[in-house]
C-alpha cells in the first residue's frame, strides 16, 4: 500500500533506497578507495533508474540521494554562515630545515612542563594541502551544510557546489550522533587540473567567449567552490580530504587525533593515507624528510606538512595563543625557485618615505603563479647581491610571500648590464632623497607633500586596527589624493556627500555609507589614534604602551626623549622617532585639525584615577569570549585603569576565561588567581 498522501508503491520506495545505497557505495569505492567494482555503464544505468523514479515521484528524493550531486538552480549569492566553532589558522614554521620540527617539539614540551627525562610526545603528521578550507556539517549522518572558512568566524554557504564533489559522502556510514562538523580541504589533482585547462583551451580555440585557462590548481578549486551555478562547479574536477573537527553533539570523540582520522575513514570520509603517528622530534624530522622526497611525485600540490599533538586531552591542555593552537604547526618546505631576467628596477615610495627597489622581471611561472616583479628590499641588498639590469637571476616564491631575487648568475651577465643607482630625488614628488649611514633604507624627505607617502599614510590611518574607516579603500584614497581633495588625514572629515558621490564608481549610497563611517570613526581610543598617525616604528603594542603610560595626548606631546624612553619597552631609537614626530609643526597642525573635526577618545588618565578596584590591576585573557573580541576587552580594561598582560604570573590580578581556554587557565588555577568569565569582567568594570 502507498504511504498516505503519496502515490509511490512500497516496492518503488524499497527500490529507491536500494539504488541510493548501491550508488553511494560504488561512488565511495571509485572516488575514495580507488577500487571500482562496477563498470561505468552499469553505474550510469543504476543512476538513470534512480533519476526516473525520483522524477516520477519527487518525494522519494532524500537529502543523501546521489542525484543531488548534479546541482541545482543558480544562486543569487552566497549566504553567510557563522561557524559554531571558529575555524582557526595554524601557526607556520618558516624554518624549512629539521630545526623547524625541533623548535615546535621544544615549545610543546616547555608548555607541558616536561623535563629532559620525560618520554617523547606523540604526534600525528599529515600533509599540508594547497587548497580551500571547508566545514561540512552532518546532522544525524546526513550532509546538510557546507561552508568556506571565510574569516574564521563566518564563512559562505557553498552546500550546492560541495554536493557535486563525488568524494564527499552525502550520508556518513554508521554515524549515530546528532551533529558532526568535519573540517577539511577542497583541492584539485594535478592531472585533473591539466585536463581542465586542455578543455578550456579547446573552448577558447573554438571561439567560446568569457572562457579562460587557470593559473594553478588551488585557484581553480577555489573558483569552482565559489561558483554561483552548481552546474559549472560540477564540471570542475574537485577532490576533498578530511582532517579535523568542528561542532560535535551526541557522538563520543576518540581520545586521539589519529583515532579521529580512523573514525572518519570508517564513516566513508576521504582521509589522506600519507599520515603517520610518530614519537618525538626524531619522528617529525623523518616524516618531513620523507614527504619532501616524494613531494614532486604526489598527485596534488602541498607546501608543507602539519604536526599535531596526538592526544586530544593534551591538545586541550595546551590550548591556544591568539587565534592559533599551541598543539599544531605547519612546517613548510623550501620555496620554489625559477630562473629569469631582470628587465628593469623601479623605486616605490612607502608610508614613511622609504624607497624600496623593485625588480621588473621577464615573466616566469613560480610557485603556481606568474611572477613579473620581485622585491630587492633596499640598496644594501641590491649592492650585496650585485643585482644589475640585464642579469639572469634565481627568483624564489614561497606561498603568498612576495617574490624575491635569491641569487645573481654572474656567469650569464651580459656585457651591457646596467648598475642600479639610487635616485637623487623622489621618483614621485621630486623631493631630495636622504640615506644615513645608520640605515640601509633611503627615504624621500617630502613627507606628506609626497603623494605616494600621503596615500600610504591615509590607507594606514583608515585601516581596521587604526581608525577603522570602512569603505575608505585604496581606489577611493587614490582618487581623493589625485583630485587634491585630501592632503592630510584631517581633510577626510571635511569631505562632503557631493564630493564623494562624484568619485568614479562611488554612487550616492556608497558615499553616504562612507560619510557615516567617517562620523563613526571620530569616537576612538588614544591607542588607535596614535597607531593611526603612522609614527615611525610605533605599532599597536607601542601605541597601547604610550596610552597607558602617558594617559593624555598632551602629556606625550610635551614629553622629552628621556620621558618617552622611560615608558616600558621603548628604547632610544623609537623614543627619538616619537619625540621628533611631535615636534614637527605640520604634524601638530594635523592633530589640531583632527581634534577640531571631532575626533575624540575617553580620557584615560581621569578614568584611570576613578577606576577604583581596577587601578593597578593586571589582567590576562584566554579563550574566546561570548561577545567581546580580544582587542575590545583589552580596550575596556585599559580604559578603566587596568593593565592587560600576555602571561600569567603571581602578579596577575585576574584571568578572564572564554571558550577553549589555553594553558593560562590551568596556570591561574594552580596559582590561585581569581578567574572571571565575561559576565564577571563586565560586573567588575561596572563596579569600577
Residues with catalytic annotation? 128
DSSP state of 334: P
Output the nine-digit C-alpha cell for 240: 576533498
Can you tell me whether residue 373 is helix, strand or coil?
A: strand
For 609: left if phi > 0, alpha if psi spans -120 to 50, otherwise beta; the answer is alpha
Helix, strand, coil in percent for the chain, rounding step 5 = 40, 20, 40
Of 297, 370, 295, 283, the closest CA to residue 332 belongs to 295
- The residues that bridge with 122 in the sheet, in sequence order, are 279
Can you tell me whether residue 618 is helix, strand or coil?
A: strand
Of 612, 624, 616, the closest CA to residue 685 belongs to 612
Length of the chain, in residues? 688
Q: How many Cα atoms sit within 13 Å of 31 on the Cβ side?
A: 22
Of 13, 106, 97, the closest CA to residue 54 belongs to 13
Distance between start and end Cα atoms, the chain? 72
Look at strands 674-676 and 654-657 and give their pairing.
parallel
Of 576, 343, 332, the closest CA to residue 439 belongs to 576
Cβ atoms 287, 305 nearer than 8 A: yes
Q: Give every CB contact of residue 676 below 8 A, 6+ residues apart in sequence.
A: 654, 655, 656, 657, 684
Q: Which residue has the cell 552525502?
A: 170
Whole-angstrom distance, CA of residue 381 vs CA of residue 349: 17
CA triplet 404, 332, 224: central angle to 5 degrees? Answer: 85
Cβ atoms 535, 546 nearer than 8 A: no
Amino acid at each position: 500500500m502507498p504511504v498516505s498522501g503519496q502515490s509511490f508503491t512500497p516496492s518503488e520506495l524499497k527500490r529507491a533506497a536500494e539504488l541510493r545505497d548501491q550508488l553511494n557505495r560504488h561512488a565511495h569505492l571509485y572516488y575514495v578507495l580507488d577500487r571500482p567494482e562496477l563498470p561505468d555503464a552499469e553505474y550510469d544505468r543504476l543512476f538513470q533508474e534512480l533519476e526516473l523514479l525520483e522524477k516520477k515521484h519527487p518525494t522519494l528524493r532524500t537529502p543523501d540521494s546521489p542525484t543531488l550531486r548534479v546541482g541545482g538552480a543558480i544562486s543569487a549569492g552566497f549566504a553567510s554562515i557563522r561557524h559554531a566553532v571558529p575555524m582557526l589558522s595554524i601557526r607556520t614554521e618558516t624554518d624549512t630545515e629539521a630545526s623547524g620540527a625541533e623548535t615546535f617539539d621544544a615549545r610543546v614540551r616547555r608548555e607541558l612542563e616536561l623535563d629532559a627525562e620525560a618520554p617523547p610526545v606523540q604526534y600525528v603528521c599529515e600533509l599540508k594541502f594547497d587548497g580551500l578550507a571547508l566545514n561540512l556539517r552532518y546532522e544525524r549522518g546526513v550532509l546538510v551544510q557546507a561552508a568556506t572558512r571565510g574569516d574564521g568566524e563566518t564563512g559562505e554557504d557553498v552546500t550546492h557546489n560541495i554536493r557535486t564533489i563525488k568524494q564527499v559522502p552525502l550520508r556518513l556510514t554508521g554515524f549515530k550522533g546528532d551533529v558532526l562538523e568535519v573540517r577539511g580541504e577542497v583541492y584539485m589533482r594535478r592531472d585533473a587540473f591539466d585536463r581542465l585547462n586542455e578543455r578550456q583551451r579547446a573552448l577558447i580555440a573554438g571561439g567560446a567567449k568569457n572562457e579562460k585557462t587557470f593559473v594553478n590548481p588551488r585557484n581553480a578549486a577555489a573558483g569552482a567552490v565559489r561558483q554561483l551555478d552548481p552546474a559549472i562547479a560540477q564540471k570542475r574536477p574537485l577532490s576533498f580530504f578530511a582532517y579535523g573537527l568542528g561542532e560535535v553533539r551526541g557522538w563520543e570523540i576518540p581520545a586521539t587525533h589519529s583515532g579521529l582520522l580512523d573514525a572518519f575513514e570508517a564513516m566513508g570520509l576521504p582521509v589522506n593515507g600519507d599520515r603517520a603517528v610518530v614519537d618525538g622530534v626524531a619522528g617529525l624530522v623523518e616524516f618531513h624528510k620523507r614527504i619532501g622526497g616524494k613531494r614532486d611525485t604526489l598527485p596534488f600540490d602541498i607546501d608543507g606538512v602539519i604536526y599535531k599533538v596526538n592526544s586530544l586531552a593534551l591538545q586541550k591542555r595546551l590550548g591556544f595563543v591568539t587565534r592559533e593552537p599551541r598543539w599544531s604547526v605547519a612546517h613548510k618546505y623550501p620555496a620554489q625557485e625559477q630562473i629569469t631576467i631582470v628587465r628593469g628596477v623601479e623605486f616605490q615610495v612607502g608610508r614613511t618615505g622609504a624607497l624600496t627597489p623593485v625588480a621588473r622581471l621577464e615573466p616566469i611561472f613560480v610557485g603556481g603563479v606568474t611572477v613579473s616583479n620581485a622585491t630587492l628590499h633596499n640598496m644594501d641588498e641590491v649592492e650585496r647581491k650585485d643585482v644589475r639590469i640585464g642579469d639572469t637571476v634565481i627568483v624564489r616564491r614561497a606561498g603568498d610571500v612576495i617574490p624575491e631575487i635569491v641569487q645573481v648568475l654572474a656567469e650569464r651577465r651580459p656585457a651591457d648590464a646596467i648598475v642600479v643607482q639610487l635616485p637623487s630625488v623622489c621618483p614621485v614628488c621630486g623631493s631630495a632623497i636622504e640615506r644615513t649611514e645608520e640605515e640601509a633604507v633611503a627615504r624621500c624627505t617630502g613627507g606628506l607633500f609626497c603623494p605616494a607617502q600621503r596615500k600610504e599614510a591615509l590607507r594606514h590611518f583608515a585601516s581596521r586596527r587604526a581608525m577603522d574607516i570602512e569603505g575608505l579603500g585604496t581606489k577611493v584614497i587614490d582618487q581623493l589624493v589625485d583630485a587634491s581633495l585630501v592632503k592630510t588625514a584631517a581633510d577626510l572629515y571635511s569631505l562632503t556627500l557631493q564630493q564623494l558621490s562624484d568619485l568614479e564608481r562611488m554612487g550616492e549610497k556608497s558615499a553616504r555609507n562612507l560619510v557615516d563611517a567617517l562620523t563613526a570613526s571620530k569616537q576612538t581610543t588614544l591607542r588607535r589614534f596614535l597607531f593611526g598617525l603612522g609614527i615611525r616604528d610605533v605599532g599597536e603594542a607601542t601605541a597601547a604602551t604610550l596610552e597607558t603610560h602617558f594617559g593624555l595626548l598632551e602629556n606625550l606631546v610635551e614629553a622629552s626623549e628621556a620621558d618617552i624612553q622611560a615608558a616600558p619597552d621603548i628604547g632610544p631609537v623609537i623614543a627619538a622617532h616619537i619625540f621628533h614626530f611631535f615636534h614637527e609643526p605640520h604634524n601638530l597642525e594635523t592633530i589640531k585639525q583632527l581634534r577640531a573635526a571631532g575626533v575624540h577618545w575617553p580620557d584615560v588618565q581621569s578614568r584611570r584615577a576613578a577606576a577604583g578596584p581596577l587601578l593597578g590591576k593586571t589582567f590576562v585573557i584566554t579563550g574566546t569570549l561570548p561577545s567581546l573580541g580580544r582587542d575590545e576587552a583589552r580596550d575596556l580594561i585599559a580604559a578603566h585603569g587596568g593593565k592587560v598582560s600576555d602571561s600569567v604570573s603571581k602578579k596577575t590580578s585576574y584571568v578572564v576565561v572564554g571558550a577553549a581556554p589555553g594553558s593560562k587557565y590551568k596556570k591561574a588555577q594552580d596559582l590561585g588567581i581569581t578567574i572571571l568569565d565575561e559576565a564577571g569582567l563586565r560586573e567588575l568594570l561596572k563596579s569600577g
